[in-house]
A and B are shown apart, each in its own frame.
Chain A
Amino acid sequence: MKLKNAVALGVTLSAVVTGAAFADTIRVGVIAPFSGPFALYGTQYEQAIAAYQAKHGTSVGEHEIEFIFRDSGGINPDLSRSLAQELLIRDQVDYLAGFTFTPNALAVAPLITQSETPTVIFNAATSSINRDSEFFLRTSFTLWQVSAPIADWAYDQGIRTVITTVADYGPGIDAENGFTAAFEARGGEVIDAVRMPLSTTDFTPFLQSVRAAEPDAVFVFVPGGPTTFAYTRTYNENGLREAGIEFLGTAETEESNLQALGDAAIGLNTAYHYSAAHDSDMNREFLAAIAEMDDPAAVNWASVGAYDGVHLIYEMIEAAGSDGPAAVEHALGLEWESPRGPLVMDPESRTVIQNVYHRVVQRNEETGLLENFETGIIATVGDLGWDQ
């Protein structure tokens, strides 16, 4: 942005911020995909917000809270940026939220820094985002946060040699680094690191090579949906399980596509911060609230990320109204109970410190549905990728 424009924008934005301080309606702009292949995220955010508001009302103190939704489609940083600009200037929002994809979040960093707008990330999981603006707060997770604990778990199970197989794109490489660093720190050995093209449809060649190398386990990171489906099928059909090569993953068994994976998914090991099968009254209440919606979407980490994000926004509004810097100040170090377990907003990395659970896929005998059964907590950690 040219300097002149930047100054002009800065002046407009600060006028907006001071103006809004006297309003008793506080607006929150939610930028997320509401159309296209990733529209499910938008629905999940919308329903989580509705569930929170059904329980806690639509006002905090004297402030009425209004959510404004904007569709960013898929990965589209330019659109994300212009939507944020429009929300800040025309709709005079005091908070931003949403952000499914890392590039979309990075694109708004200069805007929120200038306008001092607290921005709660519901999903985007690359560690480095929060470095770009101190107004980013994240209620989801980072890739390091979940891929390092699965390495610890594997080592504790006696697994010493691993081959990593990740999709060749940013998040895959983050996951590979996180896993390898933690596993090697414990004394394990990563004997091969395979990066698979994102367009891969047939994983047989990769998994046959893994099988031939006979490691104790294979670590995987692939995007959810069709890719995960093909990968897990291939893992089973080529007899890696029978050969004693354990499956180590993170989000692969997420709830929106879990039933479609079928029996092939049973027994897969993952480490993650949220399972819809988490055993707590608060989680059951959350699931029940979503189930009451018209056409309820599957509840997974994106739903709980949004639910906690709204909680954080309510807390900030209660403490600081529309004063951005004071709101962020209040958020740092904040502790609360979430459907996924206890959370603390890490004052340094501004990502939540949370339990990472080891889960194994099982068929629930009562409902007949597949679920991620949590066997225990591996670690309670913040963003392990922050210092990398």
Chain B
Amino acid sequence: MGLFLNIVVDGVAYGMILFMIAVGLSVTMGLMRVVNLAHGGFAMIGGALAHVFGTQMGLGFGLTLLLALAGTIAIALPLERVIYRRVYGFGELQQVLATIGLTFLMIATVNWWLGSTLLAVAMPEILNQSVDLGFRTLPAHRIAVIGLGLSVTLGLWILIDRTRFGVRLRAAVDNRAIASAHGINTDRIYMITFGLGAGLAALGGIMGAELLPIDAYYPLRYMVLFLIVVAVGGMGSILGSFLAAIGLGLLETATRYLVPDLSTITFFALVIALLAMRPQGLLGRE
């Protein structure tokens, strides 16, 4: 019973961190249909800015988070205008090449600017404590990530399913030409959505930094992790990414408790089996 509870608690906590770092990607890659391998780059930029504002300059956590998110979006928007706007029209392979190139550029820039060692992101004191759950303790920052993950899911669902912006976005993604003909400013919609994706990436990078620490090689190190969540969840589905992240978190945690030596093999074997049965992912559209 103790073991089962441990698996559930740790699995959900880990899964929520996976969701937080991948949700931005399910916006850009899932909704906007651009294979954005530079997603981890935006997460790293967010983390690096948080390191500079919080750890080097000593600003408070709230202000640091705000500035880092604003900073990342301020970098993402011009990139969207200059580079991504051209990338949307490319074939998938060209998108992969273009965005991986961008990733290398981001890595080299951060490496030159801040070096290749770990970039600590200072968390507020309250998140550094351990919370007693009765049968064990859980770090407070993981509980914060669980709460944040749930609110982001809810927020995105309202935004996409329940607002006028969401309707326009879905229309623009499904048929850009007809959407424009109806007077929707699709360029603007794409730009805002891309900024949203980059902002979410930065948020995930910063909040997940206690588990997946920020350094210059972050985008490459965790790229597989982001891609698995989106691929298993299904392209274009925020709820799918959410379910996939929690499921994968539980699965990985369970294998590590039960068969530690074989955990990686078991994990990937199950992911492969799932994708073989449902190539479009859990909730993906055909």
Q: Shortest Cβ distance from A300 into chain B, in angstroms?
A: 11
A226 close to B221 (CB less than 8 A)? yes
B139 close to A237 (CB less than 8 A)? yes
Contact flags A21-52 to B (C-beta < 8 A → 1, else 0): 00000000000000001111000000000000
B225 close to A225 (CB less than 8 A)? no
Contact flags B90-125 to A (C-beta < 8 A → 1, else 0): 000000000000000000000100011111101000
Q: Shortest Cβ distance from B198 into chain A, in angstroms?
A: 22
A239 close to B137 (CB less than 8 A)? yes
Q: List 15 A-B contacts (CB under 8 A).
A: A195-B261, A196-B260, A197-B264, A200-B256, A202-B14, A205-B256, A208-B257, A225-B117, A225-B213, A226-B215, A233-B210, A238-B137, A238-B139, A260-B117, A262-B120
Nearest 7 CB-CB pairings of A with B: A205-B256, A260-B118, A237-B139, A260-B120, A197-B264, A229-B213, A205-B257
B215 close to A225 (CB less than 8 A)? yes
Q: B224's closest neighbor in chain A, by CB? A: A199
Contact of B213 among A37, A209, A259, A260 (CB under 8 A): A260
Contact of A237 among B111, B130, B256, B261 (CB under 8 A): B130
Contact flags B234-274 to A (C-beta < 8 A → 1, else 0): 00000000000000000011001100110110000000000
For window 205-248 of chain B, which residues contact chain A by CB distance below 8 Å?
210-213, 215-217, 221-222, 225
**B-side interface size class:** 35 or more
Q: Please, how many angstroms separate the alpha-carbon atoms of A205 and B130 in the complex?
A: 16
Q: Please, how many angstroms separate the alpha-carbon atoms of A243 and B130 in the complex?
A: 14
Residues of the B chain whose Cβ atoms lie less than 8 Å from the Cβ of A261: 118, 120
Q: B216's closest neighbor in chain A, by CB? A: A37
B260 close to A226 (CB less than 8 A)? no
Does A230 make an interface contact (CB < 8 A)? Answer: yes
Q: Please give 19 more A-B residue pairs, beta carbons under 8 A apart, in addition to A202-B10, A202-B14, A205-B6.
A: A37-B217, A39-B116, A40-B116, A195-B261, A199-B264, A201-B211, A201-B222, A204-B10, A204-B14, A205-B7, A205-B253, A205-B257, A208-B10, A209-B257, A226-B118, A233-B210, A238-B139, A260-B118, A298-B117
A197 close to B217 (CB less than 8 A)? no
Say whether, besides A197-B263, A233-B210, A238-B137, A205 and B10 are in contact (CB < 8 Å).
yes
Residues of the B chain whose Cβ atoms lie less than 8 Å from the Cβ of A199: 264
Does A181 make an interface contact (CB < 8 A)? Answer: no
Give me the interface of A with B, judged by CB distance under 8 Å. Answer: 37-40, 168, 194-197, 199-202, 204-206, 208-209, 212, 225-226, 229-230, 233, 237-239, 256-257, 259-262, 298
Does B86 make an interface contact (CB < 8 A)? Answer: no
Residues of the B chain whose Cβ atoms lie less than 8 Å from the Cβ of A256: 117
Does B2 make an interface contact (CB < 8 A)? Answer: yes
B213 close to A208 (CB less than 8 A)? no
Residues of the A chain whose Cβ atoms lie less than 8 Å from the Cβ of B139: 237-238
Q: A192's closest neighbor in chain B, by CB? A: B260
Chain A at the B interface: mostly helix, strand, loop or mixed? helix
B213 close to A226 (CB less than 8 A)? yes
Q: Please, how many angstroms separate the alpha-carbon atoms of A38 and B139 in the complex?
A: 31
Q: Please, how many angstroms separate the alpha-carbon atoms of A206 and B17 in the complex?
A: 18
Residues of the B chain whose Cβ atoms lie less than 8 Å from the Cβ of A206: 256, 260
Say whether, besides A195-B260, A205-B257, A205-B260, A230 and B213 are in contact (CB < 8 Å).
yes
Scoring A202, A206, A237 by chain B CB atoms within 10 A of each residue's CB, the highest score goes to A202
Q: Please, how many angstroms separate the alpha-carbon atoms of A124 and B113 in the complex?
A: 28
Q: Please, how many angstroms separate the alpha-carbon atoms of A204 and B217 in the complex?
A: 23
A201 close to B212 (CB less than 8 A)? yes
Does B81 make an interface contact (CB < 8 A)? Answer: no
Q: Please, how many angstroms separate the alpha-carbon atoms of A298 and B222 in the complex?
A: 26
Q: Shortest Cβ distance from A128 into chain B, in angstroms?
A: 24
Does B188 make an interface contact (CB < 8 A)? Answer: no
Does B136 make an interface contact (CB < 8 A)? Answer: yes
B252 close to A202 (CB less than 8 A)? yes
Q: Please, how many angstroms separate the alpha-carbon atoms of A205 and B263 in the complex?
A: 11
Q: Shortest Cβ distance from A49 into chain B, in angstroms?
A: 20
A257 close to B137 (CB less than 8 A)? no
Q: B252's closest neighbor in chain A, by CB? A: A202
Q: A263's closest neighbor in chain B, by CB? A: B128
Residues of the B chain whose Cβ atoms lie less than 8 Å from the Cβ of A238: 130, 136-137, 139
Say whether, besides A202-B252, A205-B10, A212 and B118 are in contact (CB < 8 Å).
no
Q: B265's closest neighbor in chain A, by CB? A: A197
Contact of A204 among B2, B212, B253 (CB under 8 A): B253
Residues of the B chain whose Cβ atoms lie less than 8 Å from the Cβ of A194: 260-261
Q: A227's closest neighbor in chain B, by CB? A: B213
Q: Please, how many angstroms separate the alpha-carbon atoms of A209 and B263 in the complex?
A: 14
Contact of B118 among A196, A200, A208, A257 (CB under 8 A): A257
Q: Shortest Cβ distance from A325 into chain B, in angstroms?
A: 39
Scoring B111, B117, B119, B225 by chain A CB atoms within 10 A of each residue's CB, the highest score goes to B117
For window 1-17 of chain B, which residues contact chain A by CB distance below 8 Å?
2, 6-7, 10, 13-14, 17
Q: Please, how many angstroms separate the alpha-carbon atoms of A237 and B6 in the complex?
A: 14
Q: Shortest Cβ distance from A255 into chain B, in angstroms?
A: 10
Q: Please, how many angstroms separate the alpha-carbon atoms of A239 and B140 in the complex?
A: 13
Q: Please, how many angstroms separate the alpha-carbon atoms of A89 and B217 in the complex?
A: 35
